[in-house]
Structure 1
Amino acid sequence: MSITIFSASIGNGHNEASHALKEQFELQGETVDVVDTFQCIHPLLHKLFLDSYLHILKRTPNLWGKMYKYGADYSWFLLMDYLGACFCEKLQTILTEQRTTIMVSTHPFVTAFLSKLKTKKNLQLPLYTIITDLGLHPAYFRSEVNGYFTASPYFSEFAEEYNIPSEQFFCTGIPIKQVPDVSLPRRSLRVKLALKPEKKTLLITGGGLGIGKFVEIVQSLEEIDEEIQILCLTGRNEGMEKKLRKMCSKHTLHIIPFTKQFTEYLRASDVILSKAGGLTMSEALACETPILIYQPVPGHEEENAQFLIETGTAVKAETLPHVNRLLYQLFNDEHYYNYFIHNAKKIKKPNAARRIAELIKDLEATTEQSYDPQSLA
């Protein structure tokens, strides 16, 4: 098999899921390429999507939430199919050059583009979609898709509501890279990372893009009497990194830009304070680090937050004083703290990437039709 995973650099989660899956396919002996789809089609298309998304989140986040909810009833997202029709030649060239026999998508807009490609070019290549949120939304679904991999256990109800064959769903979890051994004490990882091992440790993150009110949160944490250790993982947000480096605090502050050691910092922390991105939440569950959610992105992240709250793996703060109260309880109430760890153990899926790779190979092995990459020429 020659597998092409189509990702999108709109947030870091889609890329992280793609590379976790690539790693597992390669361990199983397959040839895999990851394509940053919109960037590969044209840098200006990528910039349009990324800048528009960031502008909405910074200026009018509730608009995104309304668009997300509106899309469940009125399929505005099908506009992506029409846009995708403009780029079929470029996408087909990619498939031909890479002799692709299997397509995998990790972003709903990319799925729309590839679905239109299959229809317009009458391609028989299988297309699989990785859903990188904890909930389900019709934007991911097209009749051209052969299978969906999700973290949601509620796929049967969703499939019935939207008239999708339930056998196309596989509850695997979201693909993440290998996390540190959870049997190792958090303090031992702090030593390895040159952190203070004895300090209670809070990790604050806004995903790969570093979205969030880091400064306001750190200022609010000054109200906590006990001195703690705060890890601010700012992703690729250089402006936020500079602001935080100018701050003074009674707490021990570590400002950490984008790092490949994210899960090590996550496992080394007692609590993660974050919005509710699907990849970050899946990694937190795998690391058995209790989750404190603050200001999730309206729409998909709000649904992620609701799922985590319902499963007893996270708690949500509505205000900064509420953040402080919940954090105090997590740090000082052992029974309360262990409640979240216990529930994370029950629902975490650290081996999702391996499971998805195995399932796709099994599905293709049982498919009678053979795919000839030369037919793309």
Structure 2
Amino acid sequence: MLIKNKKILILTGSFGNGHISVTNALVNQFNKMHLPNVTVIEHDLFQEAHPIINSIAKKYYINSYKYFRRSYEYFYYARPDKTESCFYKYYGLNKLVNLIIKEKPDLILLTFPTPVVSILKRDFNIHTPVCTVITDYRLHKNWITPDSEQYYVATEELKQELVAVGVPITNITVTGIPIHEKFNLSVDRDTWLTEHGLDPKKKTLLMVAGAFGVMEGFNEMLSSLVEKSDHQFVVICGKNQSLVSNLQQQFKGKNVLVMGYTQQMAEWMSASDLMLTKPGGITITESLCKNIPLVFFNPAPGQEGENAVYFSNKGYARITHSYAETIHVTLDLLNHERELERLVQNMKKDYIPNSAQNICSSIIEILNESLIQNDIQSKARLYARLFAK
């Protein structure tokens, strides 16, 4: 419990839902801690600073999975040894300076790679503690903020990557990635499937169709999966209502349940045996929590590709590069209980629970230490003046 009022400024980004999701998990945890002396404010810095440019950049990012893979790969991997170089290094600087002046935060928490904070600390001599929650499983240079008070990371391997680029080991804590607390709740698989017209005795594949931007050939792949097996399939199409209608019509009367956007991913992950999706940091952390093995189809280069390789190497997932390979790998896993169970056990062994709780508790400790240090420094200056007299 803090003895004085403190303010935490969270800087996030709306590129995909992951960074916002992590922010929400942390804010919810702070609220659960009932800290009357702590005020938490959050800002999507780039959206607020340059809404038009940010909108264009987000469309580019979303479409990079289908159309701009090579250019996105170039930007992501450009000059990896130059941690100080970033094409959007000064992006949002004026907005951030104004935020600091207006809000006067006691701590800045990053849930999105925000290199401009480095400029703030280096050129403006601002000593506000900065903490960073890295929302992926491999390091990218844009996450690095010199003199950051603490990095909260997903794995021991990521911790060692930070150490290798010069971050003090004492400034890194392995906490896992924060996700919504509902993923910690258990679900009765048989009851859930029965309530939705599915057979609890059948293996269930959860397919997040919207995650792929509905690439050409998806319908044909699903048709082959249905024809070559007696399994059942849950297809989530997100907000693509056209895809929902087309798939519902095409697979009417078969072992396929098609739906649009859902807020029940935790329940569906609990009830399914295998999941076909793209390797976004939050989605795969949720799957790790729910111990549902994954198949990644042709992951895009960049952070998602790095996530996919990490999960594959750890024995949580398989990576495929064509629809034919995806069909083969998916059916092979669903038809071989022992191999599927091996992936499940790997996930159970490695999942780190209570991430949001551990991060928020650490941040409160940092604020308390800052409070004590400031109090000591104030008393030291007072005594110095007294002795000078």
Shorter-chain TM band: 0.7 to 0.9
The counterpart of 1:24, out of the listed 9, 26, 29, is 29
2:224 match:
223
Secondary structure at 1:312 match in 2: coil
Match of residue 365, structure 2, among 362, 367, 374: 362
Question: What's the counterpart of residue 341 of structure 1?
Answer: 344
- Residues 135 and 338 of structure 1: CA distance in aligned 2, closer, same or farther (over 3 Å): same
* Matched AA of 1:221: L
Match of 1:107 among 112, 118, 125: 112
- Output the CA distance in 1 between the equivalents of 2:205 and 2:79: 36
Q: CA deviation at 1:61?
A: 0.9
TM alignment of 1:322-341, pairs within 5 A: 322-341=325-344
On the 8 A contact 1:203/1:230 being kept in 2, the answer is: yes
Residues of 2 paired with 1:257 and 1:370: CA distance?
52
Give the partner amino acid of 2:310. Answer: F
1:78 is the counterpart of 2:86: yes
**Alpha-carbon distance in structure 1 between the residues aligned to 2:155 and 2:72:** 22
Alignment of 1:103-142 (within 5 A): 103-108=108-113, 111-142=114-145
| 1:311 aligned onto 2:319 | no
CA pair 37-255 structure 1, distance change in 2 beyond 3 A: farther
In the TM superposition, what whole-angstrom CA distance separates every residue of 1:353-377 from its partner, at most 9, and x where no partner exists?
A: 1111111112232234449xxxxxx
User: 1:215, 1:243 within 8 Å by CA — same for their partners in 2?
Assistant: no
Whether 1:65 aligns to 2:66 is: no
Partner of 1:52: 60
1:147-177 Cα shifts (integer Å, max 9, x gaps): 1111131245423431221221111111111
Q: C-alpha distance in 1, partners of 2:88/2:103?
A: 24
- Higher mean alpha-carbon deviation, 49-58 vs 356-365, is at 49-58
Q: Distance in 1 between matches of 2:90 and 2:270?
A: 43
Q: Tell me the CA shift for residue 220 of structure 1.
A: 1.4
Pair member with larger Rg: 2
Contact 2:46 2:91 in 1 (8 A): no
Aligned-residue sequence identity (percent) comes to: 27
Aligned to 2:355: 352
CA–CA distance in 1 between the matches of 2:125 and 2:289?
Answer: 40
Offset of residue 182 of structure 1: 6.7
* Residues in 1 aligned to 2:202 and 2:250: alpha-carbon distance in whole angstroms: 20
TM-score when scaled to structure 2?
A: 0.84
Distance 1:261 1:94, change over 3 A: farther
For residues 228-278 of structure 1, the C-alpha deviation after alignment (integer angstroms, 9 at most, x for no partner) is 332222334456445545543664333333332222222221111011111
Q: Which runs of 5+ in 1 are unaligned?
A: 372-377
Correspondence for 1:301: 304
Alignment counterpart, residue 5 of structure 1, candidates 4, 10, 13 = 10
TM superposition shift of 1:196: 4.7
Q: Which residue of 1 aligns with 2:291?
A: 288
Q: CA RMSD in A?
A: 2.7
Aligned mates of 2:341, 2:335 — CA distance in 1 = 11
What stretches of structure 2 of length at least 5 have no aligned partner?
1-5, 376-389
Secondary structure at the aligned position of 2:181 is classed as: coil
Q: Tell me the secondary structure at the aligned position of residue 72 of structure 1.
A: coil
Mean CA deviation greater in 338-347 or 179-188: 179-188
Instruction: Please give the alpha-carbon distance, in whole angstroms, between the structure 2 residues aligned to 1:121 and 1:323.
Output: 52
Give 1:216's aligned amino acid.
Answer: G
- The answer on whether the counterparts of 2:117 and 2:145 sit within 8 Å (CA) in structure 1 is no
Q: How many residues align?
A: 364
Question: Deviation of residue 21 (structure 1)?
Answer: 0.9
Query: Does the CA contact (< 8 Å) of 1:178 and 1:350 recur in 2?
Result: no
Shift of 1:290: 1.2
Q: Distance in 2 between the 1:257 and 1:142 partners?
A: 39
Distance 1:283 1:150 in 2: 15
Rounded Cα–Cα distance in structure 2 between residues aligned with 1:306 and 1:178: 27
Aligned partner of residue 366 in structure 1, secondary structure: helix
Conserved 8 A contact 2:49-2:92 = no
SS state of the match for residue 256, structure 2?
Answer: strand
How many angstroms does 1:135 deviate by?
1.0
Q: Which residue of 1 aligns with 2:383?
A: none
SS of corresponding position for 1:358: helix
Q: Secondary structure at the match of 1:81?
A: coil
Give yes or no for the alignment of 1:38 onto 2:39: no
Q: Tell me the distance in 2 between the aligned counterparts of 1:242 and 1:74.
A: 48
Q: Closer, same or farther in 2 for the Cα pair 1:239/1:72, shift >3 Å?
A: farther
- Give 3-state SS (helix, strand or coil) of 2:137's partner: coil
Alpha-carbon distance in structure 2 between the residues aligned to 1:238 and 1:106: 31
SS in 2 for 1:335: helix
Note closer, same or farther for the CA distance 1:352–1:279 as it changes in structure 2 (3 Å cut): same
- Counterpart residue number, 2:381: none
For 1:70, the aligned partner's letter is A
Please show how residues 156-195 of structure 1 align to structure 2 within 5 Å: 156-180=159-183, 184-191=187-194, 195=198
Distance change >3 Å, CA 189–CA 119, structure 1 → 2: farther
Q: Which of the residues 272, 276, 288 maps onto 2:275?
A: 272
